[in-house]
Amino acid sequence: MVSVNAKAAGDPILEIDKVNLTLGGHEILRDVSAQIGNGEFVCVVGPSGCGKTTMLRLLAGLYQPSAGAVTYRGQRMLHPRQDIAIVFQDYGKALLPWRTAHGNVALAFEAMGAPRNGRDEKIEQLLVKVGLGGQGKKYPNQLSGGMQQRLQIARCLAQSPAVLLMDEPFGALDAMTRQGLQDEVLSIVRETGATAFFVTHDLEEAIYLGDRVIGMLPHPGRVAITVDVNLPHPRNQLTTREDPEFLSLRRQLFDFIKDAES
């Protein structure tokens, strides 16, 4: 079951190579290595403080490693790139409250210097894609939490990202909204062919979404286990979650976390 990046070995788009990270005298990550294949959906789980969000920020170019290297298509990540989009957990803080839904998506186009011609139609298409069709004139505080997160995803899609980094994007949402968004993210990622890196504390969510699940442990943060998920696509909230493979993976990861905490 524990394999060494079988899928990623051929064609890694993102690579973390023996990375150490120390911030303010604290060792956050020690000797972390991981490869993410082109078009792969990788999930990261682990107890809080294990550095999973930090790993995402390294991949985003928001942090620089103290030692080791993070590379994107073979080149060092020295700063954030427009073709790598980040979905933050706190959608309430990541959206511009003074801009409408339409205006928030427009920000991505403005940043890219995209032509104004046809921009409005593109924005409406993106809003429709995330299920916010016709809501363009609303301000974020007029939208529910789930809708705000959809809006943030729409803004990320406006970047036409090759990689979608998601930091516990559904952590603050209720169970029903969360399941709906899981399926939508899966279909969007498959449709666009984007590579996805998804941080979560929810084991089942990780298995449900991922092609591969990386388990991390804290003090200092390190990669402790990597599990391939061989569940059929498209995934289904009922049948996938009842699949014996799903259950055995869940057991495996659950035991891993429990051992880590004891």
Partner 1 sequence: MKVERLLWLGASVLVFAGFIYFWQLISDYRWVSPVFLPGPDRAWQALVRGITTGDLLVRWTATIERMIYGWLLASLAGICLGALIGSSERARAYIGPTLELMRPLPASAVVPLAIALLGLSETMVLAVIAFGGLWPMLLATVHGFSAVEPRLYEVSRALGLSRTAVIFKIALPSSMPDILAGMRLSLTVALILAVIGEMLASRDGLGSHIMLAARAFRSPDLFAGVILLGVTGLVSAMLLSWFESWMLRWRESR
Q: Which residues bind partner 1 (CB under 8 A)?
A: 60, 62, 79-82, 84-86, 88, 90, 93-94, 96-100, 107-108, 110-112, 139, 141-142, 155, 159
Query: Which residue, among 48, 55, 60, 62, has the nearest Cα to 20 in the 3D structure?
Result: 55
Q: Which is nearer to partner 1, 10 or 80 (CB)?
A: 80
> What SS3 class is residue 65?
coil
Helix (H, G, I), strand (E, B) or coil at 175: helix
Q: How far is the CB of 104 from partner 1 (least distance, A)?
A: 10
> Nearest to residue 152, comparing CAs of 118, 198, 101?
101
In the bound state with partner 1, the residue whose beta carbon lies nearer, of 143 and 227, is 143
- Compute CA distances 27 → 24, 49, 69, whole Å: 8, 11, 16
Per the CB < 8 A criterion, the answer to whether 204 and 241 are in contact is yes
Q: CB-wise, 70 or 203, nearer to partner 1?
A: 70
Q: Are 73 and 82 in contact (CB under 8 A)?
A: no
Q: How far is the CB of 74 from partner 1 (least distance, A)?
A: 21
Q: How far is the CB of 212 from partner 1 (least distance, A)?
A: 24
The residue among 160 and 252 lying less far from partner 1, judged by its C-beta, is 160
Q: How far is the CB of 88 from partner 1 (least distance, A)?
A: 6
CA angle 94–88–154, rounded 5-degree value: 75
Between 84 and 147, CB nearer to partner 1: 84
- Least spacing, CB of residue 94 vs partner 1, in Å: 5
